[in-house]
Amino acid sequence: MSATPAESPPSAAAGIPFAAGGIPSAGLDVPALREATLGMRHARHLNAAGASLPSEAVLRTVVEHLELEARMGGYEAAEAARERHDAVYAKAARLIGARPEDIALVESATVAWHRALDALALPAGSRVLAAASSYVSSAMHLLDRARRDGVTVEVLPVDATGGTDLDTLEQCLRTPAALVTVAHVPTSSGLVEPVERIGALTRAAGVPLLLDATQSLGQIPLDVTTAEVDIAMGTGRKFLRAPRGTGLLYVSAAMRERMHPVFPDVRGATWSGDRRVEVGPDARRYETWEAAHALRLGLGVALDEALALGVPAIHAYVSGLAARLRAVLAGLPGIQLTDPAASPSGIVTFRREGEQPRDTVLRLRAAGVHVTSVPASHGQWDLGRRGIDAVVRASVHVYNDETDLDALVAALTGTEREGGRHAWAAAPTLT
Ligand SMILES: Cc1ncc(COP(=O)(O)O)c(C=O)c1O
């Protein structure tokens, strides 16, 4: 699918250091990846942690299936695409070192979280140890379980790197606990949590580990088996470059035996007698029968693309690009980096002196550079505890290159070209 760009992206100002330096491509054909990404023709998109740009192949797959549904009917189209649909489970499993039967396909990471946490029996007094990196909706759900069911939520402190303090975790695990939960990469910074070390501690203590991999799937290698992760979830639209409205849930076979779905559905359970319901053994027990098949097929193509590029290569490129951006921002007067020390992900957070992050976002948007802002209300245990009310968040992917970073820095420092206001300047800012 090709489109005529409404307007070319803003050109980079001369004399800014990125283009001169060159970022190692980690074997990726970045120009080809840019070319195959429609959105790159319209703006400098540095918001993969919000929703990344899908490839044209993903877009085409979704549109073609919607067209097929319109032509032959949704059930008939699903029948025609059954093999490709069913193959999505194996692709998702391959991405994280799981088995296809361990995967449920859902609408979002939050839906996955709810299905998992609600299926977990947490009697009153159960201790849940939650990392400071926990996502807002996860934290709110935990706090609700505390209020409703008497679950005790203990927020784990961070160490000097900004990641979960492993010594404290080890101590906390000496007293029986029901669950440890951590976000691999939070919404509010470039931090990458030491998942394998956390997994080793939880496994030794016999406590299940729930990993929120929403910001890491597709950009950071994850093997749930070697990392000793029992439950994991993620979303399609971020670093996986899949359509919005797609999400994944992984539940290990051992945990599935302990996690009865709260609402059994015909998708993963059988009404086998007048009053008999048999819940199936695989993770589809956490799904509902109705689903957006077009989006799932798009997710399948996005998974193919991530697997073909290789997550280690994506990580090497994306983290190199983000590290370069951090280094240059660190040298700019009036810019304060807000990432903790252990921040090798593709997310870069900062603030501009004397300006609210939301206003910085609007100013950059007016120059055709798309970033977003994250308020403390999206991460009270991280930003709130660090006394930061909001940050600007730039996040890069394989379709970004040095020219996008140049454009960001130029817009930040006010050196963007004259007349750099673009048609999309009027668009509302999305957080
Ligand atoms: C770390 C993290 N976890 C979970 C979520 C929720 O994902 P979703 O919006 O797909 O439910 C987000 C969304 O930004 C996130 O950043």
pLDDT at 280: 97
Out of 308, 327, 352, pick the residue that ends a domain. Answer: 308
Domain assignment of residue 127, yes or no: yes
For 418-424, the CB contacts below 8 A with 24+ separation are 420/10, 420/366, 420/367, 420/368, 421/366, 421/367, 422/7, 422/10, 422/43, 422/366, 422/367, 422/368, 423/6, 423/7, 424/42, 424/43, 424/365, 424/368
Ligand 1 atom nearest the C-alpha of 108 is 10
Tokens of 372: 């977003």
Assign 270 to helix, strand or coil: strand
Does 77 share its domain with 176? yes
Q: For ligand 1, say whether the CB of 214 is within 6 Å of any of its atoms.
A: yes
Identify the residue whose C-alpha is closest to ligand 1 atom 16. 187
Ligand 1 mutation pick, 108, 188, 214, max ligand atoms within 8 A of CB: 214
Distance of alpha carbon 81 from alpha carbon 87, whole angstroms: 10
Q: What one-letter code names the amino acid at 289?
A: W
- CA–CA distance, 154 with 218 (Å, rounded to integer): 30
- For residue 122, count other CB atoms closer than 10 A to its CB: 19
Would 93 be classed as within a structural domain? yes
Q: Do 304 and 342 belong together in one domain?
A: no
Same domain, 384 and 357: yes
Phi and psi angles of residue 421, each rounded to the nearest 5 degrees, phi first: -85, 135
pLDDT of residue 119: 97
Phi-psi region of 218 (alpha: psi -120 to 50; beta: other; left: phi over 0): left
What secondary structure does DSSP assign to 367-412, as a single string? TTEE-EEEEGGG-IIIIIHHT--EEEEEE--TT--HHHHHHHHHHH
Residue 294 lies in a domain: yes
H or E, element range at 13: none
CB-ligand 1 contact for 247 (6 Å cutoff): yes
Pocket flag, ligand 1, residue 234 (CB < 6 Å): no
Domain match, 93 and 240 both: yes
Domain annotation covers residue 374: yes
Give yes or no: residues 321 and 300 share one domain: no
Extended strands (E) in 274-366: 276-279, 335-337, 347-352
* Distance, CA of 376 to CA of 386 (rounded, Å): 9
Same domain, yes or no: 282 and 383: no
Range of the domain at 26: 17-53+310-426
- Residue 110 Cβ inside 6 Å of ligand 1? The answer reads yes
Q: 63 with 49, same domain? A: no
Q: Kindly write down the DSSP assignment for every residue of 22-69, as one continuous string.
A: ----TT--HHHHHHT-GGGGTSEE-BHHHHPPPPHHHHHHHHHHHHHH
Same domain, 229 and 82: yes
- Quick one: CA dihedral 394, 187, 212, 104, positive or negative? negative
Q: Is residue 167 part of a domain?
A: yes
Q: Is 3 exposed, middle or buried (0-12, 13-18, 19+ CB in 10 A)?
A: exposed
Provide the 8-state DSSP code for 16: -
Residue to probe by mutation, ligand 1, list 110, 185, 349, most atoms within 8 Å of CB:
110
Question: Is the C-beta atom of 215 inside 6 A of ligand 1?
Answer: yes
Structural domain total, the chain:
2
Whether 281 and 366 share a structural domain: no
CB-neighbour burial class of residue 276 (10 A; exposed 0-12, middle 13-18, buried 19+): exposed
Same domain, 320 and 297: no
Residues 295 and 316 placed together within one structural domain of the fold: no
Is there a domain that residue 389 lies in? yes
Instruction: Give domain status of residue 5, yes or no.
Output: no
Whether residue 276 is found in the same domain as residue 314? no
Cα separation, 85 vs 68, whole angstroms: 14
> Is-contact 114 141, C-beta < 8 A?
yes
- Considering 308, 336, 363, which residue would you say is the last residue of a domain? 308
Q: What pLDDT tens digit does each residue of the chain (431 aa) get?
A: 333 333 444 444 434 445 445 688 999 999 999 999 999 999 999 999 999 999 999 999 999 999 999 999 999 999 999 999 999 999 999 999 999 999 999 999 999 999 999 999 999 999 999 999 999 999 999 999 999 999 999 999 999 999 999 999 999 999 999 999 999 999 999 999 999 999 999 999 999 999 999 999 999 999 999 999 999 999 999 999 999 999 999 999 999 999 999 999 999 999 999 999 999 999 999 999 999 999 999 999 999 999 999 999 999 999 999 999 999 999 999 999 999 999 899 999 999 999 999 999 999 999 999 999 999 999 999 999 999 999 999 999 999 999 999 999 999 998 754 433 333 333 333 33
Q: Which residues pair with 351 in a beta bridge?
A: 336
* CATH of residue 138: 3.40.640.10
Continuous segment of H or E residues that includes residue 14: none
CATH number of the domain to which 408 belongs:
3.90.1150.10
Using the mean position of ligand 1's atoms as its centre, give its distance from the Cα of residue 239 in Å.
11
Last residue of a domain, one of 270, 285, 308: 308
Q: How many angstroms separate the CA atoms of 86 and 359, rounded?
A: 45
CA dist 349 and 189 (Å) reads 6
Q: Would residue 388 count as lying in a domain?
A: yes
Instruction: Indicate the pTM of the whole model.
Output: 0.93
